[in-house]
Amino acid sequence: MKAALDAFYDGGHACAACVAFESWSDGQAVATYRVVVPGVRPYRPGRFFERELCPLLAVLEESGGQFSHIIIDGYVHLKDGRMGLGAHLHEALPHPVAVIGVAKNPLAITDRFEAILRGRSAKPLFVSAVGWGLAEAATAIAGMHGPYRIPTLLRLADRIARGG
């Protein structure tokens, strides 16, 4: 089982979503979960994980899932050996799991990613990974369901996190 996670911030609390699915090409979720976490830390440049990690762990706990692969909205690694959100999530989980970061924008503070194109978009997605090879992760994300730049199940995770 695999999962796509996303979080959204609204008025001092975070809403996080988990979309569980079986196959990379699935267009529908097996299950969805949503949690609200009050009192999240504010964003600090270079410390994105401080705001995102707690809600992502909370929704994973709610799902009860033992996922083999988890996709997040963001980067896994930062430059100079620093950990991005994905690496912090990977370390915080109690069992081995591949964490794949899918970011919509390039950042100057990252350097270990592969840019991929999906659908008819000329704008790439930036894929990074820990616990799985980067080339395999990029191929999996490129092959996910949906005709648009953002795969269907990642869009669904975002929509659920935002309350839709």
In the sheet with 114-116, reading across from the earlier edge strand, the strands are 31-38, 13-21, 2-10, 69-73, 98-103, 125-130, 114-116
Among 12-16, 28-32, 127-131, 159-163, where is mean pLDDT lowest? Answer: 12-16
Q: What is the pLDDT of residues 98-155, one digit of tens each?
A: 999 999 988 777 788 999 999 889 999 999 999 999 999 999 999 999 999 999 999 9
Length of the chain in terms of residues written? 164
CB-CB contact of 110 with 128 (8 Å)? yes
Q: Total structural domains in the chain?
A: 1
Q: How many CB atoms lie within 10 A of CB 130?
A: 22
- What is the structure's pLDDT at 83? 83
Reference 77, options 68, 90, 86; nearest CA is 86
- Domain range holding 81? 2-161
Q: What is the pLDDT of residues 30-89, one digit of tens each?
A: 999 999 888 766 666 555 666 678 899 999 999 997 899 999 998 888 777 778 889 999
Q: Which helix (H) or strand (E) holds 88?
A: helix 85-92
Domain containing residue 80: CATH number: 3.30.2170.10
- What is the structure's pLDDT at 108? 74
